[in-house]
């Protein structure tokens, strides 16, 4: 009975495992960069992330939404929000869609701090910008496809992404170089312009969201 000879590559993890490891290492570097800036602002990581999540959301957000985005309990989120309110960076107001509910907004000072936090990862932005344009588009496409797969696990938080927006029309031009369309601006939507977080985002229904993500995957 022949026994297949061992090769130098037999112990190499599957490529999927190496991709996850690489993403994890990148996340560690990004988290370290954000911690450095947030510490200088007198914030802990959760507080810094809350300020970023509130940025550009003029209608405010609910506490429960923040908890889902942070993947922490409502109680822990409430403690972080209370600290930010005490620092004068966040304010509470009545929600526009429900006068009985509370919405969270950045104060003017909170906007300034959030803007400074936004520059914390400029080193990573610069690194990505050094990649050839075509490779950047391929990477963005791959990340959207990965997010689409993660959406199926119900572990990925809600995004203000094009693919979950009612204005997104997938494959409106099948066979064309730019198949997707944005109804908001009434124009074809190249993959290179797909957004992860869009200020004009209008959530579509759950069925359409699943269809959009699955079509992209």
User: Which position has the higher pLDDT, 95 or 174?
Assistant: 174
Query: What is the rounded distance in angstroms from the CA atom of residue 37 to the CA atom of residue 23?
Result: 21
For the stretch 127-143, pLDDT in tens is 999 999 999 989 988 88
Could you tell me the two tokens for 166? 């009612």
Query: What is the rounded distance in angstroms from the CA atom of residue 33 to the CA atom of residue 124?
Result: 9
Query: What is the rounded distance in angstroms from the CA atom of residue 6 to the CA atom of residue 9?
Result: 8
For the stretch 83-115, pLDDT in tens is 999 999 999 888 776 667 788 999 999 999 999
pLDDT at position 107: 95
Which residues, in sequence order, are CB contacts of 120 under 8 Å at separation 6+? 33, 34, 36, 37, 38
Instruction: Give which of 182, 217, 214, 179 is closest to 198, Cα–Cα.
Output: 182
Question: Does position 1 have pLDDT exceeding 70, yes or no?
Answer: no
Average pLDDT over all residues of the chain = 86
Query: What is the rounded distance in angstroms from the CA atom of residue 61 to the CA atom of residue 68?
Result: 12
31-58 average pLDDT score: 90
pLDDT at position 151: 79
Locate tokens 């209370």: which residue?
82
User: Which position has the higher pLDDT, 182 or 11?
Assistant: 182
pLDDT at position 216: 67
Which residues, in sequence order, are CB contacts of 52 under 8 Å at separation 6+? 114, 117, 118
Instruction: Give which of 51, 22, 21, 58 is closest to 37, Cα–Cα.
Output: 51
- Helix or strand run (H / E) with residue 103: strand 98-106
pLDDT at position 201: 83
Query: What is the rounded distance in angstroms from the CA atom of residue 173 to the CA atom of residue 124?
Result: 34
pLDDT at position 99: 63
What is the DSSP annotation of 150-190? HHTTT-SPP---GGGBTTEETTSSTTSSS--EETTTTEE--
What dihedral angle (degrees, nearest 10) is formed by the CA atoms of 202, 204, 205, 206?
A: -110
DSSP reduced 3-state for 198: coil
Question: Does position 166 have pLDDT exceeding 80, yes or no?
Answer: yes
């Amino acid at each position: 009975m022949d026994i297949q000879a061992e090769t130098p590559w037999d112990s190499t993890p599957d490529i999927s495992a190496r991709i996850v490891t690489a993403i994890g290492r990148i996340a560690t570097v990004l988290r370290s960069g954000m911690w450095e800036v947030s510490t200088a602002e007198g914030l802990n990581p959760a507080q810094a992330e809350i300020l970023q999540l509130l940025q550009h959301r003029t209608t405010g957000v609910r506490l429960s939404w923040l908890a889902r985005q942070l993947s922490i309990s409502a109680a822990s989120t409430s403690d972080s929000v209370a600290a930010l309110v005490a620092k004068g960076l966040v304010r509470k107001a009545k929600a526009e869609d429900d006068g009985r509910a509370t919405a969270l907004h950045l104060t003017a000072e909170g906007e300034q701090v959030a803007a400074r936090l936004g520059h914390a990862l400029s080193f990573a932005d610069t690194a990505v910008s050094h990649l050839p344009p075509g490779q950047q588009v391929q990477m963005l496409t791959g990340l959207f496809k990965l997010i689409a797969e993660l959406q199926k696990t119900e572990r990925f938080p809600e995004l203000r992404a094009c693919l979950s927006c009612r204005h997104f029309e997938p494959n409106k031009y099948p066979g064309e170089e730019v198949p997707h369309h944005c109804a908001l601006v009434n124009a074809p939507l190249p993959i290179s312009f797909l957004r992860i977080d869009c200020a004009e985002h209008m959530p579509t229904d759950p069925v359409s969201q699943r269809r959009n993500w699955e079509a992209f995957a």
